[in-house]
């Protein structure tokens, strides 16, 4: 009788272990996910957002998590030339809003965070101070774009929205954030929560832009 009870207990523990083991395996297989959002869903729902919900805020820790994701981006000889200047205080955000042109200013009203991305010159595309090929510092811009791509995709995976802005007053941004002359100022990126569903852009047909050989 006692043996029967022990057997039963043993079987129950074994079943529990097997069950939890199985469900862990299942989770292991879902490697391409961030939280509950699949990578394809991140790609499909990431859009340039031009209307933000002003009632929602973002913490410094949340922004840091997105910036940590940029450190996973590849860069020329691992030079990591990208740098970020993050405006989070209402005063700084208001100052940056003035430096992205009137249309962008209206579109990013309500976004609680504005980020300036730059890259250090003479790193990517260079070896021992010499330009490696005809692209030169263009490779710094390339790396910065990659880094920013990681940022906006990670942002979407965490439920945030972004707008990359190439229309910006780089001289005034340089003064505002005291950005050294050896850095090229690239984009301003707004970060917030969408207020409306963004419009879907048209994409060129693949056979117009790709050639297989």
How many angstroms separate the Cα of 89 from the Cα of each of 1, 84, 114? 71, 15, 10
Query: What residues between 144 and 183 interact with ligand FMN by CB under 6 A?
Result: 163-167
Residue facing ligand FMN at closest CB distance: 166
Give dist(CA 50, CA 4) in Å, integer: 68
Least distance (Å) from ligand FMN to the CB of residue 122?
Answer: 22
**Residue nearer to ligand FMN on the CB measure, 93 or 132:** 93
Token pair of 188 as six digits: 């301003």
- According to DSSP, the residues that pair with 184 across neighbouring strands are 119
Q: Say whether residue 115 binds ligand FMN (CB under 6 A).
A: no
Q: Say whether residue 44 binds ligand FMN (CB under 6 A).
A: no
Closest CA to 114 of 87, 151, 85, 152: 87
H/E segment holding residue 66: helix 60-70
Least distance (Å) from ligand FMN to the CB of residue 41?
Answer: 15
Part of the chain binding ligand FMN (CB under 6 A), chosen from 19-27, 34-42, 44-52, 58-66: 44-52
Secondary structure of residue 62 in the 3-state scheme: helix
Q: Say whether residue 104 binds ligand FMN (CB under 6 A).
A: yes
What is the contact surface with ligand FMN in residues (CB under 6 A)?
Answer: 47-48, 50, 104, 107, 163-167, 187, 198, 201
């Amino acid at each position: 009788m006692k043996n029967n009870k022990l057997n039963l207990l043993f079987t129950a523990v074994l079943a529990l272990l097997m069950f939890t083991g199985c469900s862990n395996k299942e989770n292991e297989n879902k490697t391409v996910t961030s939280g509950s959002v699949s990578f394809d869903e991140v790609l499909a729902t990431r859009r340039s957002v031009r209307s933000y919900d002003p009632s929602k805020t973002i913490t410094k820790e949340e922004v840091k998590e997105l910036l940590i994701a940029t450190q996973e981006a590849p860069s020329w000889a691992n030079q990591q030339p990208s740098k970020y200047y993050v405006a989070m205080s209402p005063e700084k955000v208001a100052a940056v809003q003035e430096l992205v042109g009137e249309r962008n200013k209206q579109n990013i009203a309500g976004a609680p965070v504005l980020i300036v991305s730059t890259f250090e010159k003479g790193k990517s595309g260079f070896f021992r101070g010499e330009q490696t090929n005809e692209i030169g510092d263009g490779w710094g811009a390339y790396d910065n774009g990659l880094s920013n791509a990681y940022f906006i995709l990670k942002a979407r995976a965490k439920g945030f929205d972004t707008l990359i802005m190439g229309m910006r007053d780089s001289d005034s941004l340089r003064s505002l954030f005291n950005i050294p002359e050896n850095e090229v100022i690239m984009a301003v990126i707004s970060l917030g929560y969408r207020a409306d569903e963004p419009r879907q852009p048209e994409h060129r047909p693949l056979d117009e832009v790709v050639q297989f050989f």
